[in-house]
Amino acid sequence: MLRNSTQHVCLNGLAVRANATSRLCVVGLVLVAAGSGFGAPKRLRTDALRADAGNATSQQAQQKAGPDALVYVDGINLVRPGLILGAEETVSRMFAGIGLRVQWTVHPPAQAPEPAGTQCTSVGPEVIVIQMASERPKSAIGEALASARPYARSGTRITVFYGELQEAISRRPSLERVLLAHVLVHEITHVLQGVVRHSSTGVTRAHWALKDYADMQHRPLEFTAIDVQLIRASQAKRGAEACILARGTPNSGSGQAVPQ
Protein backbone atom coordinates (compact mmCIF):
# COMPACT_ATOMS: atom_id res chain seq x y z
CA MET A 1 0.00 0.00 0.00
CA LEU A 2 1.23 3.48 -0.81
CA ARG A 3 2.55 5.35 2.19
CA ASN A 4 0.51 8.41 1.35
CA SER A 5 -2.74 6.47 1.20
CA THR A 6 -5.45 6.15 3.79
CA GLN A 7 -8.03 3.53 4.40
CA HIS A 8 -11.68 3.90 5.33
CA VAL A 9 -13.10 0.78 6.91
CA CYS A 10 -16.71 0.22 7.86
CA LEU A 11 -17.90 -2.69 9.94
CA ASN A 12 -21.24 -2.95 8.19
CA GLY A 13 -19.64 -4.14 4.98
CA LEU A 14 -19.19 -0.85 3.12
CA ALA A 15 -16.56 -0.89 0.41
CA VAL A 16 -13.00 -0.14 1.42
CA ARG A 17 -11.50 2.90 -0.27
CA ALA A 18 -7.87 3.81 -0.55
CA ASN A 19 -7.17 7.09 1.21
CA ALA A 20 -3.92 8.38 4.74
CA THR A 21 -6.21 7.40 7.71
CA SER A 22 -7.54 4.18 9.07
CA ARG A 23 -11.15 4.49 10.17
CA LEU A 24 -13.12 2.13 12.38
CA CYS A 25 -16.89 2.06 12.24
CA VAL A 26 -19.62 -0.16 13.54
CA VAL A 27 -23.32 -0.89 13.16
CA GLY A 28 -25.79 -3.35 14.57
CA LEU A 29 -24.65 -3.31 18.19
CA VAL A 30 -28.24 -3.45 19.38
CA LEU A 31 -28.44 -6.96 17.93
CA VAL A 32 -25.98 -8.38 20.44
CA ALA A 33 -27.75 -11.01 22.47
CA ALA A 34 -29.60 -9.41 25.38
CA GLY A 35 -28.41 -11.66 28.22
CA SER A 36 -24.71 -11.20 27.60
CA GLY A 37 -23.27 -9.76 30.75
CA PHE A 38 -20.30 -7.48 31.04
CA GLY A 39 -17.58 -9.44 32.76
CA ALA A 40 -14.28 -8.25 34.10
CA PRO A 41 -11.49 -8.45 31.50
CA LYS A 42 -9.66 -11.74 31.65
CA ARG A 43 -6.10 -12.59 30.71
CA LEU A 44 -5.64 -13.13 27.01
CA ARG A 45 -4.83 -16.60 25.80
CA THR A 46 -1.54 -15.62 24.22
CA ASP A 47 0.63 -18.70 24.70
CA ALA A 48 0.53 -19.51 20.99
CA LEU A 49 1.22 -15.91 20.03
CA ARG A 50 4.19 -15.72 22.36
CA ALA A 51 5.53 -18.92 20.87
CA ASP A 52 5.20 -17.46 17.38
CA ALA A 53 6.72 -14.15 18.35
CA GLY A 54 9.43 -15.77 20.46
CA ASN A 55 9.74 -16.18 24.22
CA ALA A 56 12.28 -13.38 24.27
CA THR A 57 9.53 -10.89 23.55
CA SER A 58 7.92 -10.89 26.98
CA GLN A 59 11.29 -11.19 28.72
CA GLN A 60 12.59 -8.15 26.87
CA ALA A 61 9.49 -6.14 27.78
CA GLN A 62 9.85 -7.07 31.44
CA GLN A 63 13.48 -5.97 31.46
CA LYS A 64 12.76 -2.58 29.91
CA ALA A 65 12.93 0.38 32.25
CA GLY A 66 10.31 2.37 30.38
CA PRO A 67 7.01 1.77 28.59
CA ASP A 68 6.57 0.77 24.97
CA ALA A 69 3.86 3.38 24.47
CA LEU A 70 3.16 6.66 26.25
CA VAL A 71 -0.49 7.61 25.73
CA TYR A 72 -2.22 10.91 26.41
CA VAL A 73 -5.98 11.32 26.03
CA ASP A 74 -7.21 14.83 25.25
CA GLY A 75 -10.86 15.79 25.68
CA ILE A 76 -11.14 13.30 28.53
CA ASN A 77 -13.89 15.42 30.12
CA LEU A 78 -16.30 13.91 27.60
CA VAL A 79 -16.01 10.54 29.29
CA ARG A 80 -17.06 9.61 32.81
CA PRO A 81 -13.91 9.24 34.99
CA GLY A 82 -14.71 5.72 36.13
CA LEU A 83 -15.44 4.60 32.58
CA ILE A 84 -12.25 5.98 31.02
CA LEU A 85 -10.12 4.54 33.81
CA GLY A 86 -11.73 1.15 33.34
CA ALA A 87 -11.20 1.30 29.58
CA GLU A 88 -7.55 2.32 30.02
CA GLU A 89 -7.02 -0.58 32.43
CA THR A 90 -8.47 -3.01 29.90
CA VAL A 91 -6.27 -1.56 27.15
CA SER A 92 -3.18 -1.95 29.34
CA ARG A 93 -4.07 -5.57 30.15
CA MET A 94 -4.65 -6.43 26.53
CA PHE A 95 -1.25 -5.11 25.47
CA ALA A 96 0.43 -6.63 28.53
CA GLY A 97 -0.84 -9.97 27.26
CA ILE A 98 1.53 -9.66 24.29
CA GLY A 99 4.41 -8.27 26.33
CA LEU A 100 3.87 -4.56 25.73
CA ARG A 101 3.70 -1.94 28.45
CA VAL A 102 1.36 1.02 27.98
CA GLN A 103 1.71 4.06 30.23
CA TRP A 104 -1.04 6.68 30.47
CA THR A 105 -0.09 10.28 31.17
CA VAL A 106 -2.22 13.23 32.30
CA HIS A 107 0.26 15.71 30.84
CA PRO A 108 0.22 16.43 27.10
CA PRO A 109 3.60 15.41 25.68
CA ALA A 110 5.29 18.27 23.85
CA GLN A 111 7.37 15.89 21.75
CA ALA A 112 8.74 12.40 21.70
CA PRO A 113 11.01 11.88 24.74
CA GLU A 114 14.73 11.71 24.19
CA PRO A 115 16.36 8.27 24.55
CA ALA A 116 17.93 7.37 27.85
CA GLY A 117 21.42 7.08 26.36
CA THR A 118 23.44 7.38 23.20
CA GLN A 119 23.48 3.70 22.27
CA CYS A 120 21.59 2.49 19.25
CA THR A 121 19.25 0.42 21.39
CA SER A 122 18.14 3.45 23.40
CA VAL A 123 14.81 4.49 21.96
CA GLY A 124 11.96 6.15 23.80
CA PRO A 125 8.35 4.94 23.90
CA GLU A 126 5.94 5.53 21.05
CA VAL A 127 4.15 8.76 21.97
CA ILE A 128 0.45 8.60 21.09
CA VAL A 129 -1.97 11.50 21.50
CA ILE A 130 -5.65 10.52 21.40
CA GLN A 131 -8.36 13.11 20.87
CA MET A 132 -11.85 12.45 22.20
CA ALA A 133 -14.28 14.22 19.88
CA SER A 134 -17.93 14.89 20.68
CA GLU A 135 -19.02 14.24 17.10
CA ARG A 136 -17.82 12.73 13.88
CA PRO A 137 -16.44 15.19 11.30
CA LYS A 138 -18.10 15.50 7.92
CA SER A 139 -14.99 14.04 6.30
CA ALA A 140 -15.57 10.73 8.11
CA ILE A 141 -17.55 8.02 6.38
CA GLY A 142 -20.51 5.91 7.38
CA GLU A 143 -20.67 4.92 11.04
CA ALA A 144 -17.02 5.58 11.87
CA LEU A 145 -16.22 5.43 15.59
CA ALA A 146 -12.55 6.41 15.35
CA SER A 147 -9.69 7.15 12.98
CA ALA A 148 -5.92 6.70 13.18
CA ARG A 149 -2.91 8.22 11.42
CA PRO A 150 -0.38 5.38 11.48
CA TYR A 151 2.21 7.23 9.42
CA ALA A 152 2.21 10.42 11.50
CA ARG A 153 5.13 10.93 13.87
CA SER A 154 3.63 13.69 16.02
CA GLY A 155 0.42 15.51 16.84
CA THR A 156 -2.94 13.82 17.30
CA ARG A 157 -2.57 10.32 15.93
CA ILE A 158 -5.94 8.89 16.97
CA THR A 159 -9.37 10.51 17.12
CA VAL A 160 -12.28 8.76 18.84
CA PHE A 161 -15.74 9.95 17.85
CA TYR A 162 -17.11 9.46 21.32
CA GLY A 163 -20.55 10.87 20.60
CA GLU A 164 -21.01 8.28 17.85
CA LEU A 165 -19.82 5.51 20.16
CA GLN A 166 -22.39 6.51 22.79
CA GLU A 167 -25.12 6.54 20.19
CA ALA A 168 -24.08 3.11 18.92
CA ILE A 169 -24.48 1.52 22.35
CA SER A 170 -27.49 3.59 23.46
CA ARG A 171 -29.61 0.45 23.90
CA ARG A 172 -26.80 -1.50 25.53
CA PRO A 173 -24.97 0.97 27.82
CA SER A 174 -23.13 -1.89 29.52
CA LEU A 175 -21.10 -2.25 26.31
CA GLU A 176 -19.64 1.25 26.54
CA ARG A 177 -16.49 0.53 28.51
CA VAL A 178 -15.54 -2.67 26.73
CA LEU A 179 -16.26 -1.23 23.28
CA LEU A 180 -14.28 1.93 24.02
CA ALA A 181 -11.35 -0.22 25.17
CA HIS A 182 -11.42 -2.31 21.99
CA VAL A 183 -11.70 0.75 19.76
CA LEU A 184 -8.65 2.23 21.54
CA VAL A 185 -6.66 -1.00 21.21
CA HIS A 186 -7.62 -1.31 17.53
CA GLU A 187 -6.39 2.21 16.73
CA ILE A 188 -3.32 2.12 18.99
CA THR A 189 -2.28 -1.09 17.23
CA HIS A 190 -2.45 0.71 13.86
CA VAL A 191 -0.09 3.36 15.24
CA LEU A 192 2.29 0.86 16.85
CA GLN A 193 2.47 -1.12 13.61
CA GLY A 194 2.95 2.01 11.55
CA VAL A 195 0.83 0.65 8.72
CA VAL A 196 -2.81 0.55 7.62
CA ARG A 197 -3.87 -3.09 7.64
CA HIS A 198 -6.27 -5.45 9.36
CA SER A 199 -6.35 -9.07 10.41
CA SER A 200 -9.05 -11.56 9.52
CA THR A 201 -9.86 -12.21 13.18
CA GLY A 202 -9.44 -10.62 16.59
CA VAL A 203 -9.12 -7.06 17.80
CA THR A 204 -7.67 -5.72 14.54
CA ARG A 205 -10.37 -7.26 12.40
CA ALA A 206 -11.84 -4.68 10.01
CA HIS A 207 -15.39 -6.00 10.30
CA TRP A 208 -16.31 -7.11 13.81
CA ALA A 209 -19.14 -9.64 13.69
CA LEU A 210 -21.96 -9.96 16.21
CA LYS A 211 -20.10 -12.86 17.80
CA ASP A 212 -17.10 -10.58 18.36
CA TYR A 213 -19.27 -8.10 20.27
CA ALA A 214 -20.70 -10.90 22.36
CA ASP A 215 -17.23 -12.35 23.02
CA MET A 216 -15.64 -9.05 24.03
CA GLN A 217 -18.15 -8.71 26.85
CA HIS A 218 -16.65 -11.78 28.51
CA ARG A 219 -12.99 -11.52 27.55
CA PRO A 220 -10.96 -9.18 25.32
CA LEU A 221 -10.56 -10.05 21.67
CA GLU A 222 -7.10 -11.35 20.89
CA PHE A 223 -4.23 -10.19 18.73
CA THR A 224 -3.11 -12.41 15.88
CA ALA A 225 0.48 -13.56 15.54
CA ILE A 226 1.02 -11.18 12.60
CA ASP A 227 -0.29 -8.30 14.74
CA VAL A 228 2.47 -8.96 17.27
CA GLN A 229 5.12 -9.45 14.60
CA LEU A 230 4.26 -6.15 12.89
CA ILE A 231 4.42 -4.25 16.18
CA ARG A 232 7.84 -5.74 16.90
CA ALA A 233 9.02 -4.98 13.39
CA SER A 234 7.95 -1.35 13.77
CA GLN A 235 9.78 -1.12 17.11
CA ALA A 236 12.91 -2.52 15.50
CA LYS A 237 12.61 0.01 12.67
CA ARG A 238 12.36 2.90 15.14
CA GLY A 239 15.41 1.58 16.96
CA ALA A 240 17.36 1.36 13.71
CA GLU A 241 16.38 4.90 12.75
CA ALA A 242 17.48 6.19 16.15
CA CYS A 243 20.76 4.34 15.69
CA ILE A 244 21.34 5.96 12.29
CA LEU A 245 20.67 9.40 13.72
CA ALA A 246 22.95 8.73 16.67
CA ARG A 247 25.78 7.75 14.32
CA GLY A 248 25.14 10.63 11.94
CA THR A 249 24.89 13.32 14.60
CA PRO A 250 26.85 12.01 17.60
CA ASN A 251 26.77 15.31 19.47
CA SER A 252 23.14 16.22 18.93
CA GLY A 253 21.61 13.72 21.32
CA SER A 254 18.58 13.56 19.07
CA GLY A 255 16.31 10.58 19.53
CA GLN A 256 13.65 11.55 17.04
CA ALA A 257 12.82 9.15 14.26
CA VAL A 258 13.68 9.80 10.65
CA PRO A 259 10.69 11.53 8.99
CA GLN A 260 8.46 9.19 7.01
**What is the structure's pLDDT at 15?**
31
Q: Above 80 in pLDDT, residue 186?
A: yes
Range ranked top by mean pLDDT from 2-6, 176-180, 256-260: 176-180
Averaged pLDDT of the chain? 75
| More confident: 112 or 147 | 147
Q: Above 70 in pLDDT, residue 34?
A: no
**What is the structure's pLDDT at 66?**
87
Over residues 4-13, mean pLDDT: 39
Do the Cβ atoms of 26 and 208 come closer than 8 Å?
Answer: yes
- Sketch the domain layout of the chain as residue ranges: 7-32+46-248
We find that the CATH architecture of domain 7-32+46-248 is 3-Layer(aba) Sandwich (3.40)
Over residues 166-180, mean pLDDT: 92
What tens digit of pLDDT does each residue of 61-82 get? 444 568 999 999 999 999 998 9
- Band of residue 24 on the pLDDT scale cut at 50, 70, 90: low
Range ranked top by mean pLDDT from 51-55, 140-144, 163-167, 251-255: 163-167
**What is the structure's pLDDT at 138?**
74
What tens digit of pLDDT does each residue of 142-155 get? 778 899 999 998 99
- Band of residue 135 on the pLDDT scale cut at 50, 70, 90: confident
Does the global pTM surpass 0.85?
no
Q: Above 60 in pLDDT, residue 44?
A: no
**What is the structure's pLDDT at 123?**
73
Q: Above 50 in pLDDT, residue 196?
A: yes
Do the Cβ atoms of 77 and 84 come closer than 8 Å?
Answer: no
What tens digit of pLDDT does each residue of 218-246 get? 999 999 999 999 999 999 998 787 676 65
Q: Above 70 in pLDDT, residue 40?
A: no
**What is the structure's pLDDT at 64?**
52
**What is the structure's pLDDT at 111?**
57
Over residues 49-57, mean pLDDT: 44
